[in-house]
Structures are given as structure tokens and as C-alpha cells.
């Protein structure tokens, strides 16, 4: 009987408990318990997976993208460039003879006299004679026959834009055209004139032409040939809106005409192929999310923008945490006047209007032309230096409750130095709360950076961030017609901030020892 009892006891010792046996006792470390509670929180796990996806998208996606962050794309487009202006002259112009004066007051009196059909008028004791060559040409002279000025509507233009007509050639040419003569003489030289088309030649070469039309190019390096002007004028008089003209190099260009009733002037537009930025291109195989206002690939910009936004968020939180932990730890451990001084500094920082200061600093960096990369560093430093007071208060409060516990008494009794007491024994006990605070603060930091970049005070071109990508919605036309420009950045920003907040809630619940789950 005794042998049977011993045998039964040995079997009981060797028997292994099943996993669901109530006699089995599981002992988990505090870290394992936190991890278990966290991984059981499905919502927190969703936030974690979203953040992992955002990190892969931003940091790995940028490496896999075939394009660069600031790579520009172009397209060939037919542009209507303003090429020249044309106007049919219906008002008198004036040319004054050498050594004479014909001020605006005298011009006004000439207009009145010509409208009344008078042959003379006077001003300021001077008499003027009018010689009417045609309805469009008058010669104004003194009674002794000395010519003073010409009043004309037909325009004498030279073929050489660098050549300026003097009064003698202008007068002789216009009078000959008014009388429909075939030639005229000036400075002892003879000029041939075609009364039908107004062409003026000298020694068999084209010299200029006389017409009621005035046509000038908008660019100084452009010369309008006689043939081009004739074709344009003929088309306008026929009521046509466009012509095709072959230039001296054999290239054909299409020209369109627009009339401005207010000025009575025609604008001649030249259609040319031009290489322009491929801005706001719709999504395609080459650009899955289209291109932005600079002609850059939107998907690539979103990848690099996420990298910048996340990097700024983490660096700002690191700066704030380091300053907050150091000052909060010193304040909570020493107490007394040290605590009072540090807490008053914290109060001062709480009273600082951070957003106006950031806006002012951003405007000053704009005015001084700070490099975009240096500007980004300044932004991280400013946000970090303004964000530490909350962390300092959290650390101080935790250390005030921890420093009176038995393990701290033991460290003091064993002669451990102050630095080791604070940073090796007190601070590690505050880390769980710091992790939760920083995780939830990351979302707010990313939103702050996005807000500043949206206002043009944060990250600047050529660097991308989700905030300055959304900046395009300031243009109502882009907001309505190009949703692929701003919706993806807004969705990524929303998901990232929401995921950080969910992760922070999950960590807070996991670190809470009262949690049952």
C-alpha cells in the first residue's frame, strides 16, 4: 500500500498541466503585461498598422519612386502669344518742322479751324495758314510761307525700323500720296511712290510705305515685313479673324486677330508650339495622382512630404522631451526654490502667444530670404523650444510622488549620486507616461506644421510637406476642378494624426495597471 502511494505521488509530480488547467500559474513581466494589454486593443492595433503604412509610404516609397522630389515635367502646347498691335489711324498726328514749335494749344485751335473749314487761325499774336492737301493732310505755315508743321492721318513708315524720317521727307512723301503722284523729291533724292498700295522705293529698293494703318510689334527684336502687314490689313478689312503666314525661314505660323473696342486697336496673336510646365495634369499611367502647379509628380511629392512632416514631428517632440525631462526632473527632485524658479519659467512659457510669434518669425525669414533647408531647421527648433513646458510639468508631478518611496530612500542610503538617482531611478519610472504624452503630442505637432506650411510660414518650396501641398486650395479654381491635388494630402494628414491619437490612447490604457483587458 505504501509503495502504491509513493508511485501515485511520483506520477502527480511528473504530470504536465494543460494550457487551460486552473492549476497552471502564468507569471508575466510588467513589460509583457503592457504589451499584452496593448495588442489586445484592436483599435490601437489599427492605429499602429496605419502608422507603419505611413512610414513605409513616406520613407520607403520615396526611394522606390522613379521620380525625384523636385523633378519638373513638361508638355508641348500651342500658345497664343501677343505678337503685334495694329490700329487704323483716324486722328490727326503732328510733325513739327526743324526749329519750329507747335504746342498742344495751337493743335487744338487747328482742329477747330479745320472743322469750320477756315484757312487760317491765330494764337498768341501769331497767324497760321492752313493748306489742305486732302481730308487727311494739312500743311500749317506762317503767312510768309515758312512751314511750321504737318497734320496727317496717313502714316509714313520706313522699312528699316532704325531709320527715322525727317520733316522734309515726311512732308514730301505725304503730299505726294495725297495728290496720288508717282514720285517725290527730298534732299535732292528722288523716291518712287505707288499710289495704289503706298509703297515707297529708293534706287529700286523698298524704302517704306504710306498707309492709314499703324502696325508695331510687341517685342523689339521682331521686324514686321511689308508683305506680312499687307496680309494682316487685307484680312482685317475683309472681316477675317486669322491668316497663315510663311516667314523668311519657310516656317508657317497661324495668326489670329482680336479687336478691343475701348482702344480701337487690333491685337495680333501668333500661335506657336512652346514647351511649358505640365501643370495640373490629370492622373495617368505616368503620374498616378497627376501633377501639381509646378509640374511635379503628386505621388512623389506626397511621399517626400510625409517624410518631412513625420521627421519634423519626431524631432520637435524629441527636443521638447529632452528639455522637459531635464527641467522637470530637476524641479521635482530638488523642490524648494529650484522648483519655484523652474515652475515660474514654465508659467512664462505658457503665457507666450506661440502662434503669433511663429507667424512673425516666419514673415521675418521670408523678408530676409532664409534658405528653405535652414528655415526648416529653425521651424523645428522654435516648435521644440515652445513645446516643453507641458512635459516638464508631467515629469515634475510624477517625480514628486516617486521621490518619497522606499526605493529612493534606499538609493540615498547606499550613497548613489544625485544624477544617478534622477536619471537612472526616477526618470525610467516616468517613461511610460512620457511615451503616451509624446505619442499624442506628435499628432498636434504635425497639425501645427501643416497649418504653418498651409499659411506659407512653414516648409517652403522646393521641399514638400503635406501642409504646403494642401496650400493649393487657396486657389478656388484648383479647389473645384482639381480635387486630386489636395484630397490625398488631406487624407494622409487625417489618417496620420488620427493614428497617433489612437496609438496614444492605446498606450495609455496599456500602461494603466487598473485595466482588466
243 and 253 both lie in a single domain: yes
**Residue at 424 is within a domain:** yes
Closest CA to 48 of 509, 511, 494, 505: 505
**Residue at 203 is within a domain:** no
241 and 303 both lie in a single domain: no
**Residue at 45 is within a domain:** yes
pLDDT at 5 (0 to 100): 53
258 and 342 both lie in a single domain: no
| Residue 16, pLDDT above cutoff 60 | no
Band (18; pLDDT cuts 50, 70, 90): low
pLDDT at 208 (0 to 100): 85
Cell of 102: 507747335
pLDDT at 128 (0 to 100): 92
- Which residue, of 250, 277, 304, is where some domain finishes? 277
Environment class of residue 156 by beta-carbon count within 10 Å: exposed (0-12), middle (13-18) or buried (19+)?
buried
291 and 235 both lie in a single domain: no
Segment 76-90 shows an average pLDDT of 84
How far is 308 from 460, CA to CA, in rounded Å? 11
- Which residue, of 277, 300, 333, is where some domain finishes? 277
Cell of 249: 525661314
Higher-pLDDT residue of 411 and 40 is 40
pLDDT at 297 (0 to 100): 92
| Residue 26, pLDDT above cutoff 70 | no
Cell of 182: 508717282
Segment 216-227 shows an average pLDDT of 79
**Residue at 183 is within a domain:** no
**What b/e readout covers 229-256, taking b as 16+ CB neighbours within 10 angstroms?**
bbbbbebbeeeeeebebeeeeeeeeebe
Closest CA to 200 of 215, 217, 186: 186
**Residue at 191 is within a domain:** no
Q: What is the pTM of this model?
A: 0.62
Summarised one tens digit per residue, pLDDT across range 113-139 is 988 888 899 988 889 999 998 888 999
Among the ranges given (39-53, 138-152, 210-224, 381-395), the one the predictor scored with the smallest mean pLDDT: 210-224
Write the CATH number for 484.
Answer: 1.10.3720.10
306 and 452 both lie in a single domain: yes
- Which residue, of 223, 248, 277, is where some domain finishes? 277
Angle between helices 298-334 and 389-402 (to 10 degrees): 40
**Residue at 177 is within a domain:** no
**Across the chain, what does the average pLDDT equal?**
82
47 and 84 both lie in a single domain: no
Range of the domain at 362: 30-73+287-511
Band (517; pLDDT cuts 50, 70, 90): very low
Segment 449-474 shows an average pLDDT of 80
Band (495; pLDDT cuts 50, 70, 90): very high
265 and 322 both lie in a single domain: no
User: What is the DSSP code string of 313-338?
Assistant: HHHHHHHHHHHHHHHHHHHHHH-HHH
How far is 282 from 291, CA to CA, in rounded Å? 7
230 and 373 both lie in a single domain: no
Higher-pLDDT residue of 137 and 428 is 137
334 and 221 both lie in a single domain: no
| Residue 417, pLDDT above cutoff 80 | no
Higher-pLDDT residue of 193 and 403 is 193
Is the distance from CB of 157 to CB of 213 less than 8 angstroms? no
Band (19; pLDDT cuts 50, 70, 90): very low
**Residue at 490 is within a domain:** yes
Cell of 198: 503706298
359 and 304 both lie in a single domain: yes
Angle between helices 336-351 and 389-402 (to 10 degrees): 150
Segment 392-415 shows an average pLDDT of 75
379 and 318 both lie in a single domain: yes
**Residue at 195 is within a domain:** no
Band (406; pLDDT cuts 50, 70, 90): low
pLDDT at 225 (0 to 100): 79
pLDDT at 439 (0 to 100): 81
| Residue 512, pLDDT above cutoff 60 | yes
Q: Which residues have CB under 8 Å from 448's CB, separation 6+?
A: 383
Band (210; pLDDT cuts 50, 70, 90): confident
- Count the domains in the chain: 2
507 and 395 both lie in a single domain: yes
| Residue 53, pLDDT above cutoff 90 | yes
pLDDT at 29 (0 to 100): 66
Segment 11-19 shows an average pLDDT of 51
pLDDT at 409 (0 to 100): 65
Higher-pLDDT residue of 79 and 488 is 488
Amino acid at each position: 500500500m505504501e509503495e502504491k502511494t509513493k508511485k501515485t505521488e511520483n506520477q502527480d509530480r511528473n504530470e504536465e498541466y494543460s494550457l487551460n488547467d486552473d492549476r497552471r500559474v502564468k507569471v508575466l513581466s510588467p513589460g509583457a503585461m503592457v504589451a499584452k494589454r496593448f495588442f489586445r486593443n484592436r483599435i490601437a492595433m489599427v492605429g499602429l498598422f496605419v502608422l507603419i503604412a505611413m512610414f513605409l509610404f513616406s520613407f520607403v516609397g520615396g526611394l522606390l519612386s522613379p521620380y525625384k522630389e523636385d523633378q519638373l515635367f513638361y508638355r508641348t502646347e500651342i500658345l497664343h502669344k501677343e505678337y503685334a498691335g495694329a490700329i487704323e489711324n483716324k486722328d490727326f498726328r503732328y510733325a513739327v518742322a526743324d526749329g519750329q514749335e507747335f504746342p498742344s494749344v495751337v493743335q487744338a485751335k487747328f482742329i477747330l479751324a479745320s472743322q469750320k473749314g477756315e484757312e487760317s487761325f491765330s494764337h498768341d499774336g501769331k497767324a497760321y495758314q492752313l493748306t489742305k492737301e486732302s481730308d487727311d493732310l494739312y500743311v500749317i505755315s506762317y503767312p510768309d510761307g515758312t512751314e511750321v508743321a504737318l497734320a496727317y492721318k496717313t502714316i509714313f513708315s520706313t522699312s528699316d525700323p532704325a531709320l527715322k524720317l525727317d520733316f522734309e521727307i515726311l512732308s514730301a512723301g505725304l503730299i505726294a500720296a495725297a495728290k496720288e503722284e508717282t514720285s517725290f523729291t527730298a534732299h535732292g533724292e528722288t523716291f518712287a511712290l505707288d499710289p495704289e498700295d503706298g509703297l515707297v522705293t529708293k534706287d529700286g529698293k523698298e524704302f517704306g510705305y504710306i498707309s492709314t494703318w499703324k502696325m508695331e510689334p510687341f517685342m523689339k527684336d521682331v521686324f514686321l515685313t511689308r508683305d506680312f502687314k499687307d496680309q494682316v490689313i487685307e484680312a482685317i478689312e475683309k472681316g477675317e479673324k486669322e491668316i497663315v503666314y510663311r516667314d523668311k525661314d519657310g516656317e508657317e505660323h497661324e495668326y489670329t486677330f482680336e479687336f478691343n473696342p475701348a482702344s480701337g486697336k487690333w491685337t495680333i496673336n501668333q500661335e506657336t508650339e512652346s514647351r511649358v510646365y505640365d501643370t495640373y495634369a490629370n492622373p495617368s499611367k505616368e503620374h498616378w495622382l497627376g501633377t501639381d502647379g509646378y509640374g511635379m509628380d503628386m505621388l512623389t511629392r506626397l511621399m517626400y512630404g510625409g517624410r518631412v512632416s513625420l521627421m519634423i514631428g519626431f524631432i520637435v517632440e524629441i527636443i521638447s522631451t529632452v528639455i522637459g525631462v531635464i527641467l522637470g526632473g530637476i524641479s521635482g527632485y530638488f523642490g524648494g526654490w529650484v522648483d519655484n524658479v523652474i515652475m515660474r519659467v514654465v508659467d512664462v512659457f505658457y503665457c507666450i502667444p506661440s502662434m503669433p510669434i511663429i507667424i512673425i518669425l516666419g514673415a521675418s525669414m521670408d523678408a530676409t530670404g532664409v534658405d528653405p533647408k535652414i528655415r526648416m531647421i529653425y521651424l523645428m527648433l522654435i516648435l521644440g523650444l515652445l513645446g516643453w513646458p507641458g512635459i516638464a510639468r508631467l515629469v515634475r508631478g510624477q517625480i514628486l510622488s516617486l521621490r518619497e518611496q522606499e526605493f529612493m530612500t534606499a538609493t540615498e542610503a547606499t550613497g548613489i549620486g544625485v544624477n544617478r538617482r534622477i536619471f537612472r531611478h526616477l526618470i525610467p519610472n516616468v517613461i511610460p507616461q512620457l511615451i503616451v504624452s509624446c505619442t499624442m503630442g506628435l499628432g498636434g505637432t504635425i497639425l501645427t506644421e501643416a497649418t504653418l506650411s498651409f499659411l506659407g510660414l512653414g516648409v517652403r518650396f522646393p521641399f514638400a510637406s503635406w501642409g504646403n501641398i494642401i496650400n493649393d486650395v487657396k486657389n478656388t479654381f484648383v479647389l473645384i476642378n482639381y480635387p486630386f491635388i489636395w484630397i490625398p494630402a488631406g487624407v494622409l494628414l487625417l489618417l496620420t494624426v488620427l493614428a497617433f491619437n489612437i496609438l496614444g490612447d492605446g498606450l495609455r490604457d496599456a500602461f494603466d495597471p487598473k485595466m482588466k483587458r
